[in-house]
Amino acid sequence: MKPIRLVSGVLTVGFWTLLSRIFGFVRDILIAAWLGTGPVAEAFLVAFSLPNMFRRFFAEGAFNMAFVPMFSKKLEANDGAQSFARDAFAGLAAILLVLSGLATVFMPWLVWAMASGFVGDERFDITVTLGRIVFIYILFISLAALVSGVLNASGRFVAAAAAPVLLNIILIAALIFAETGTFTSDLVSASDGKGTHGTLLAFGVVLAGIAQLAFVWVAARRNGFDLRPKKPVWTPELKRLAIIAAPAALAGGVVQVNLIVGRQVASFFDGAIAWLSYADRLYQLPLGVVGIAIGIVLLPDLSRRLQAQDTTGGQDAFSRATEMSLALSIPAAVALFVIPVVLVEILFERGAFGPEDTAATALATAVYGLGLPAFVMQKVLQPLYFAREDTRRPFYFAMVAMVINAVLAVGLAPTIGYIAAAIGTTVAGWAMFALLWWKSRAMGQASALDVRARKRIGRIIIAAAIMGIGLWCAELLITPDLMVGVLKFAVLALLVLFGMGLYAIAGIAFGAFSGRDLTAAFRRQR
């Protein structure tokens, strides 16, 4: 596999992820405008986080991190890859059906574990009701994640990357139906009169899960992978998969504990869960487009290279992934830190989302922005371990990060309030990155940066700093007259174009990247 294949794959995944995040912003803009930070908004955000938490724990976390390297190596060796995938599909489906049933019964306890600050007010009952509707989403989206892993491992990235767009399109439609009164429901009652919005959003999530699974399943079938349901069978290969996945599952559990700690802290401050969620959307944009895209493409690539004992190619893939990650995440982090108020005001401040909400969300955005390079680099470093079927050490590192997050979030909350949750997340992210990097140095040539990558990292930081100064100066020129109606979206577009242009000029001038790199990055492999 030539190095350009990595870049091409990352661009494919990144493009569709960017499109999904744009629709996600539209969804969140509508939620902020029509629901604000009220009880239904916070209840839906917590309810929706429940299946997403377990999804990352089972599918995108433990299961796929173990499944993709094994499947990739079987595919490379032509050793029963499709049979293995069908067995994994059946086994995962059986586990998720049991989990969904248990979650429906014990939903009040799950909500209490996620947001005990809701106990005693209407948010708790609303969250329980919505949670029981949306939890079945985990079945469809986790199976979709496994099928996506099959497609990604075989070098077919488009369908898997495009599927998440369906979720946001369906949720946007649900919000519009609710706001226009096209559909009404008394399933959820709330003091802010937004129960119908919550009901439609919850059922929209389930519909989106079905649509995503159908989309990638059809794509896999068209590409020669028959994943029809079958009776689960406990094979030696699935036993090995479970053994490898167990530490990754524990690591995924630790990561989710970090999220639970943050939500628990936020649940004791009115509006804080919504503030942190909207801020999370902002930093998740570059994280999804860059970090997740690179991780998705890099893991099967490294797995195949290790199977073929191609250490030189592995080093090149890892070095280019690092370069690309830092070249895109560092300027994004600088922008989130330098101009968070302008970003939040333009994107979210309207309707039920007021200036106080903007200030609180902007503060969280700036703190998350400081951790963005660490979050992205975790996605680059973790494949070094998972491609070697080493899931134990990432678990130990995640445990350390969990302790750091809990101590900071819980310890600082009485003094500085909800923002302690964001600080804990960011510091824990840097700790996790440091541990992953430290132990990766002993993995040999394939995990070492080449000379070109080492030279360019410092130059990327300089170019991003120049861009940050330019954005700060540009923000000073923005007057209140410009922040009205559609004009403020023009302001946002100009800021983005100015920042990108300044960073590109500074990057080329200081040698962070070259014009040839930019051209090559957009050239597809024939």
- 402's tokens: 């969990």
Give the start-to-end residue ranges of the domains of the chain: 1-37+271-526, 39-233
For residue 482, the 8-state DSSP code is: G
Residues 23-67: tens digit of each pLDDT: 887 888 888 888 877 888 888 988 998 888 777 665 555 566 677
CB 66 within 8 Å of CB 241: yes
For helices 137-153 and 81-105, the axis angle rounded to 10 degrees is 160
d(CA 71, CA 73): 5
Judged against a pLDDT cut of 50, whether residue 522 lies above it is answered with: no
CB 194 within 8 Å of CB 33: no
Q: How many helices (H) and strands (E) does the chain have?
A: 21, 0
Residues 128-161: tens digit of each pLDDT: 999 999 999 999 988 888 888 888 777 777 787 7
Residues 87-129: tens digit of each pLDDT: 888 888 888 899 899 999 999 999 998 888 888 888 899 999 9
Cα Rg, the chain, nearest whole Å? 22
Residue pointed to by tokens 């100066």: 473
What mean pLDDT is predicted for residues 344-366? 89
For residue 270, the 8-state DSSP code is: T
Task: Dihedral sign for Cα 415, 43, 31, 195, please.
Answer: negative
Judged against a pLDDT cut of 70, whether residue 1 lies above it is answered with: no
CB 348 within 8 Å of CB 358: yes
Candidate from 69-73, 290-294, 327-331 with smallest mean pLDDT: 290-294
pTM: 0.71
- 31's tokens: 């939620």
CB 178 within 8 Å of CB 188: no
Distances in Å between the alpha carbon of 314 and those of 91, 446, 449, 451, 467? 32, 5, 10, 15, 32
d(CA 65, CA 255): 14
Number of CB atoms found within 10 A of residue 185's CB = 14
- 244's tokens: 């490898």
- 511's tokens: 């040698």
Task: Please calculate the CA angle 374-379-382 and round it to the nearest 5 degrees.
Answer: 110
Question: What would the DSSP string read from start to end of 302-316?
Answer: HHHHHHTT-HHHHHH
323 pLDDT band (50/70/90 cuts)? confident
What percent of the chain clears pLDDT 90, i.e. is strictly above it? 30
φ and ψ at 350, to 5 degrees? -170, 160
Report residue 385 CA to chain centroid gap.
20
